Amino acid sequence: GAVVSQHPSWVICKSGTSVKIECRSLDFQATTMFWYRQFPKQSLMLMATSNEGSKATYEQGVEKDKFLINHASLTLSTLTVTSAHPEDSSFYICSAPQLQGFNTEAFFGQGTRLTVV
């Protein structure tokens, strides 16, 4: 299947700093990418839809000023957690869909574990 690469795999940052996470589709173009958040032992919650060349669409309850998303090219989306706080510590996962006929299969990055201290 298609490959989605996420970087970094883990990051520790100080409270109040910003962290950027990159998501790349390596062997296909993705006009849309998705960002999820997963708390320990919980499911993946969709945070936002990243759209190449336009503004991201955020799910209800997700602060767009805190979680900045940029989708500058067809293979790269970035999520920046601004002014991070300990409650932002979580596992962040990106996904890029690949259209297969009329159907879409999602390919996932390996995730980024963010720890804010």
Query: Residues in the site for other proteins, rule: CB under 8 A?
Result: 1, 31-32, 34, 36, 41-46, 49, 93, 95, 97, 99-106, 108-111
Burial class (CB in 10 A: 0-12, 13-18, 19+), 10: exposed
Nearer to other proteins, 14 or 103 (CB): 103
Nearer to other proteins, 34 or 67 (CB): 34
Nearer to other proteins, 34 or 116 (CB): 34
Q: How far is the CB of 104 from other proteins (least distance, A)?
A: 6
Q: Are 28 and 104 in contact (CB under 8 A)?
A: no
Q: How far is the CB of 21 from other proteins (least distance, A)?
A: 14
Task: For residue 59, give the DSSP letter.
Answer: P
Q: How far is the CB of 111 from other proteins (least distance, A)?
A: 5
Q: What is the torsional sign of CA 38, 107, 112, 15? A: negative
Q: Are 56 and 64 in contact (CB under 8 A)?
A: yes
